[in-house]
Structure 1
């Protein structure tokens, strides 16, 4: 992903929060395995292993093609339209990951005891 400006990625877009917007608003069971960040608008959604898969849903419904990890220590990009993985990409605005104190799966509290059986 070379070049100054990549269509579908806005390095200045700030994350919408520290957890999945929809899960925290009560859409679905309210918990996630990992978090994904929309590289265009900063929307934080849950990963495709999570029960509700809000990250990819946001990307598909909004037409924003790139998701990136919102997990500590991860910096890859995924294009949901082309299903292409990128190891590197532009540096995004901070924060680039959920707080270290926030568990995965998370958030603390609503994660059921049988969470592993509920993953996709």
Structure 2
């Protein structure tokens, strides 16, 4: 639905990504793109609501906009972004071929500390 909307092709090179359910890096890219393009998404949904000739499209745009224009969506998206960023960093380090056990433990302890700090803040 958003691909057809011309207002979504602004100067930002960040595009929305399809959620990849099997890779942390895919999840972080999806959330990051949605976070960076949040206002463009809202604008596009509003234009679809106002300009589409198809009732089903207008209703779908309205429903999606209502769901993402609430505090809970923004808050949860922000938290997921922070959590997935930590997990993605650890995942990349742990996938190195030359990593040793000591470095693995250090990375995981740092991630645990960062997530604990996030939970406490």
Same fold by TM-score greater than 0.5: no
Instruction: Identify the structure with the greater strand proportion.
Output: 1
Answer with 1 or 2: which has the greater Rg: 2
Structure with greater contact order relative to length (CA < 8 Å, sep ≥ 6): 1
Instruction: Identify the structure with the greater helix proportion.
Output: 2
